[in-house]
């Protein structure tokens, strides 16, 4: 997502209505949210570069959401693999064993 052209202080100051100003503010925050999401995703991906070395030992997978543990799979024989797909927008976890 590139920065929308109308997100500039000059455009805000020259806006004729409060609705135009509010749209510029909303688009600015949307743009900032997207930048933060992309930045945090890069950090996760950089950290995950170390994961493959650890994966042979992993035999428990937990998915945590706002309600707590929504999925737990633990067996001593589990083997896990991870894969980033769809232009790094999808994280897939494969469990076998």
Quick one: pLDDT band at residue 93, thresholds 50, 70, 90? confident
Quick one: pLDDT band at residue 3, thresholds 50, 70, 90? confident
More confident residue, 1 or 30: 30
| Residue 7: DSSP 8-state | -
pLDDT, residue 31, reads 83
The structural domains of the chain, with segments of one domain joined by +, span: 1-49, 50-97
pLDDT in tens, 56-72: 788 888 888 888 888 89
Rounded Cα distance between 62 and 69, Å, is 7
Rounded Cα distance between 81 and 58, Å, is 9
């Amino acid at each position: 997502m590139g920065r929308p052209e109308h997100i500039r202080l000059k455009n805000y100051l020259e806006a004729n209505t409060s609705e135009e100003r509010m749209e510029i503010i909303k688009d600015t925050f949307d743009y900032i949210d997207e930048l933060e999401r992309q930045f945090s995703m890069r950090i996760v991906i950089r950290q995950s570069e170390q994961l493959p070395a650890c994966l042979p030992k992993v035999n428990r997978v937990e998915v945590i959401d706002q309600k707590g543990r929504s999925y737990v799979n633990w067996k001593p024989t589990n083997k896990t693999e991870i894969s980033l797909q769809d232009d790094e927008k999808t994280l897939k976890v494969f469990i076998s064993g």
